[in-house]
Amino acid sequence: MEWGILPMTLVLGIESSCDETAASVVQDGCTVLSNIVASQDELHTEYGGVVPEIASRAHLERILPVIQEAIKNANIELSAIDAVAVGNRPGLIGSLLVGVAAAKTLAWTLNKPIIAVDHVIAHLWAPHLSGASIEYPALGVVVSGGHTSLLLLTDPSNAKCLGKTIDDAAGEAFDKAAAILKLGWPGGQRIDNAAAKGSPVHRLPRPKTKGNRPDFSFSGLKTALLYGVRGNPSKVDGKMIFPHSPEELSTQEICDWASSFQHAAVDSIINGVHNALSNNPVRCVVSGGGVLANSLLRTKLTVTAEQFHIPIHLPESTYCVDNAAMIAGLGHYLFTHGQRDSLSITASPRGIAS
Ligand code: KG4
Ligand code: ZN
């Protein structure tokens, strides 16, 4: 079946891989008729990170109202959808299962096809939702709270993983850095805002992994920030005691540390992108994930693509974070290319880049 042969195809997308419960109706892969995202930030704030059991329970409570709202906002009847697309991998297993169960139930009761979608590859559909025309092969750059991966895409759905993080994801590192600086959670936007008022006066490491693969490592950078801010610890009765506390820092010092961290994290990502572009001839760079909301990363990625004389496609801010429009959009592409999954599909914590 050829791309675009089905006019006015409506796909309902469902996303529940981490802590956003989301549903969206997308027409013909790119026109977003509705995009509902129920964030759980307030439930996880006191723990400074996503608690899987709390996340899956919250998905259970929210999934049906979120789907209903997506259908209502799209101004369609539920029976008008042509297929149900669901992010079934990778992610938190208990969270994924809620979306998968809802999608299967809808597909079965409506007698519509179900399409299983890889969440990480779907992040790279985001620029399509703003009308980007993407030529392949492309270098996919996914930077989020759960993933930091470089993918070689031969088309929107076929990806080979060139490199990924060997420990923390970049977004996770931003969240931990914000915790060290007592800026709150989630931390990415807070580090970005603080960095805008600071300067990168501290030299933090740009960790490199061994070998030629463009892999990433962010846990050493986080530790370097911790020791930089609080001094070298000593062990007393098995406990790490730091000579300084972040409360001793002035607002300007916090902003300078945030800026120094942001520069180091972004440079690490850019080094990997540079390596991947040097070794893989591609026609463009396409990017997605929550950390693409970061101002410095957007600027430096744009400059890097320019150095290689290729265009870059960045997601607009609404589609950086986890959402179901990207699932429905890639789901539409797969649907029009003949993918039909069985109702026996299940969720998997692993995907192309994990
Ligand atoms: O894509 P996403 O919603 O979740 C995953 O799929 O993992 O990304 C969330 C991540 C969080 O770690 C958050 O701190 C980070 O994206 N983030 C940012 C910014 N806005 C959100 N990181 C850096 N700078 C930002 N402006
Ligand atoms: Zn994501």
- Residues spanned by the domain of 145: 138-316
Q: Please choose from 321, 323, 326 the residue to mutate so as to test ligand 1's pocket, defined by most ligand atoms within 8 A of CB.
A: 321
Same structural domain for residues 153 and 265?
A: yes
Same structural domain for residues 210 and 222?
A: yes
Same structural domain for residues 188 and 122?
A: no
Residue-averaged pLDDT of the chain: 94
Q: Is residue 5 part of a domain?
A: no
Ligand 1 touching residue 29 (CB < 6 A) = no
**Under a CB-based contact definition with an 8 Å cutoff, are residues 11 and 341 in contact?**
no
Same structural domain for residues 19 and 162?
A: no
Same structural domain for residues 127 and 145?
A: no
Its pTM stands at 0.94
Alpha carbon nearest to ligand 1 atom 4, residue: 145
Alpha carbon nearest to ligand 1 atom 3, residue: 321
Give the number of other CB atoms < 10 A from CB of residue 248.
10
Same structural domain for residues 187 and 52?
A: no
**Environment class of 338 (CB within 10 Å of its CB; exposed 0-12, middle 13-18, buried 19+):** exposed
Q: Which ligand is nearest to the CA of 295?
A: 1
d(CA 160, CA 246): 42
Ligand 1 touching residue 144 (CB < 6 A) = yes
Q: Is residue 234 part of a domain?
A: yes
Q: Please choose from 18, 174, 322 the residue to mutate so as to test ligand 1's pocket, defined by most ligand atoms within 8 A of CB.
A: 174
Work out whether the CA dihedral 148, 154, 157, 161 comes out positive or negative.
Answer: negative
pLDDT at 3 over 80: no
Q: Is residue 93 part of a domain?
A: yes
Near ion ligand 2, which residues have CB within 5 Å?
144, 322
Tell me, in angstroms, the distance from the centre of ligand 2 to residue 226's CA: 26
d(CA 275, CA 278): 5
Q: How high is the pLDDT of residue 354?
A: 61
pLDDT per residue as tens digits for the range 72-106: 999 999 999 999 999 999 999 999 999 999 999 99
Tell me, in angstroms, the distance from the centre of ligand 1 to residue 145's CA: 5
pLDDT per residue as tens digits for the range 167-223: 999 999 999 999 999 999 889 999 999 999 999 999 999 987 777 899 999 999 999
Q: Is residue 123 part of a domain?
A: yes
Q: How high is the pLDDT of residue 210?
A: 74
Alpha helices in the chain (DSSP H): 41-44, 52-73, 93-110, 119-123, 170-180, 188-195, 219-230, 251-279, 295-307, 325-336
Q: How high is the pLDDT of residue 50?
A: 87
Q: For 254-281, what is the mean pLDDT?
A: 97
Q: Is residue 285 part of a domain?
A: yes
pLDDT at 351 over 90: no
Same structural domain for residues 215 and 69?
A: no
d(CA 353, CA 60): 27
pLDDT at 232 over 50: yes
Same structural domain for residues 159 and 276?
A: yes
What is the DSSP-derived secondary structure letter of residue 129? G
Q: Please choose from 89, 175, 291 the residue to mutate so as to test ligand 1's pocket, defined by most ligand atoms within 8 A of CB.
A: 291
The total domain count for the chain is: 2
CATH number at residue 52: 3.30.420.40
Q: What is the token pair recorded at 72?
A: 């209502």
Q: Which of 321, 345, 302 is nearest to 122 (CA)?
A: 321
Same structural domain for residues 121 and 171?
A: no
Q: Please choose from 183, 189, 292, 352 the residue to mutate so as to test ligand 1's pocket, defined by most ligand atoms within 8 A of CB.
A: 189
Poorest-confidence range of 59-63, 81-85, 116-120, 237-241?
A: 237-241
pLDDT at 29 over 80: yes
Q: Is residue 222 part of a domain?
A: yes
Same structural domain for residues 50 and 116?
A: yes
pLDDT band of residue 1 (cuts 50, 70, 90) is very low
Same structural domain for residues 191 and 285?
A: yes
Q: Is residue 2 part of a domain?
A: no
Q: How high is the pLDDT of residue 73?
A: 98
Ligand 1 touching residue 15 (CB < 6 A) = no
Q: For 117-130, what is the mean pLDDT?
A: 98
pLDDT at 2 over 70: no
Ligand 1 touching residue 288 (CB < 6 A) = no
Q: Is residue 217 part of a domain?
A: yes
For the chain, what is the largest distance between any 2 Cα atoms, rounded to a whole number of angstroms?
69
d(CA 261, CA 290): 17
Tell me, in angstroms, the distance from the centre of ligand 1 to residue 45's CA: 14
d(CA 289, CA 153): 16
Residue type at 167? Answer: D
Same structural domain for residues 149 and 278?
A: yes
Ligand 1 touching residue 156 (CB < 6 A) = no
pLDDT band of residue 7 (cuts 50, 70, 90) is low
Ligand 1 touching residue 34 (CB < 6 A) = no
Q: For 66-77, what is the mean pLDDT?
A: 98
pLDDT per residue as tens digits for the range 291-331: 999 999 999 999 999 999 999 999 999 999 999 999 999 99
Q: How far is CA 295 from the centre of its chain?
A: 16
pLDDT at 45 over 90: no
Alpha carbon nearest to ligand 1 atom 16, residue: 290
